[in-house]
């Protein structure tokens, strides 16, 4: 176990994913011993010592035993799933997993601190100009948001009823190097990188992209996770974003500008019923500033520059 003068021993669930990989790298860089857990190995090396572990298919007791053997002080849950999963699979990946994780930590000889990564989608959508606060009543509109909310509520309940040492970081739309290929910026980045390599014009088909979201930098997100791993907070749920909504189209335009790749854009009509009035998310991040001493440091341009650099070979 760590002491006040040594870095914590950290386990990262979902450590091969977009956010989990960056979290594991940060803890390793700052001297922590890192146990990286995921269902299967990544094609790209990850930080720490990788152990294949599927909590959705294993009893909580097995994870508790593993965490005890490794003398883990902090567990970061960056696992979960949405893309390519049906509702039942999403329920297992997001809710069942957290149920077993909470049980496992409670069964440890010395329970670890849990930093669970939630999402802005737990809130649902609100009128333009509204900042979503931790005390707001969540009203998620999509299955993923409802399931992530159920997972957050399980953690909050365990804090109150079982004395679990935990915090939930409700993340905005995280942007940076390693952006998932199925995301808007991941798709655009891949198309621009292919055109860059071929020396051709990138052909992009874009909807108006009127949605305005709270886009938060990946490195800023990791800073928040690191702060939450050792800082006890009065609130169990904390928003992590920039505190300002930005149009999705602005990030695509920034990516095109940063890449320097010539583009030919075909404007495609948006689906019926979409528009800024129904596509706004902006987080109130004052609680994270007050309780973690955390504020975002990077600009949208810096996030996009990191994303683009990662898209290029070498």
3-state secondary structure at position 144: helix
Q: What is the 3-state secondary structure (H, E, C) of 16-50?
A: CCHHHHHHHHHHHHCCCCEEEEECCCCCCCCCCEE
List the structure tokens of 302.
């810096």
List the structure tokens of 297.
């440091």
CA dihedral over 116, 285, 310, 29, signed as positive or negative: negative
Rg (CA), the chain: 20
According to DSSP, residue 280 is labeled B
Q: Provide the angle, in degrees to the nearest 10, between the axes of the packed helices 18-29 and 218-230.
A: 60
Residue 87: CB atoms within 10 Å: 10
Instruction: Please identify every residue annotated as catalytic.
Output: 144
- Quote the CA–CA distance of 55 and 80 in Å, as a whole number: 11
Does residue 132 contact residue 284 with C-beta atoms inside 8 Å? yes
């Amino acid at each position: 176990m760590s002491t006040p003068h040594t870095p914590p021993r950290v386990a990262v669930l979902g450590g091969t994913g977009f956010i989990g990989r960056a979290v594991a790298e940060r803890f390793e860089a700052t001297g922590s011993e890192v146990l990286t857990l995921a269902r299967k190995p990544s094609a790209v090396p990850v930080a720490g010592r990788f152990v294949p572990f599927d909590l959705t298919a294993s009893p909580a007791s097995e994870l508790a035993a593993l965490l005890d053997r490794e003398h883990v002080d902090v567990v970061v849950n960056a696992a979960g799933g949405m893309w390519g999963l049906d509702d039942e699979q999403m329920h297992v990946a997001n809710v069942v997993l957290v149920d077993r994780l909470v049980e496992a930590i409670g069964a440890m000889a010395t329970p670890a601190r849990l930093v669970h990564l939630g999402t802005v989608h737990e809130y649902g959508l609100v009128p333009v100009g509204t900042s979503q606060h931790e005390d707001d009543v969540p009203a998620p509109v999509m299955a993923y948001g409802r399931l992530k909310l159920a997972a957050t509520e399980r953690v909050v309940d365990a804090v109150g009823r079982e004395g679990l040492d935990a915090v939930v970081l409700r993340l905005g739309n995280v942007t940076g190097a390693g952006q998932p290929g199925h995301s808007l910026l991941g798709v655009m980045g891949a198309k621009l990188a292919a055109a860059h390599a071929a020396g051709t014009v990138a052909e992009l088909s874009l909807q108006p992209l009127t949605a305005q979201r709270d886009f938060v930098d990946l490195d800023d997100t990791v800073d928040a996770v690191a702060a939450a791993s050792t800082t006890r907070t009065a609130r169990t749920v904390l928003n992590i974003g920039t505190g300002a909504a930005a149009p999705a189209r602005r990030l695509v335009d920034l990516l095109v500008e940063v890449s320097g790749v010539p583009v030919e854009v075909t404007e495609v009509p948006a689906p019926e019923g979409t528009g800024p009035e129904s596509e706004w998310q902006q987080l109130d991040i004052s609680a994270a500033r007050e309780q973690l001493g955390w504020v975002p440091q990077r600009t949208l341009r810096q996030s996009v520059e990191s994303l683009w650099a990662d898209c290029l070979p070498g």
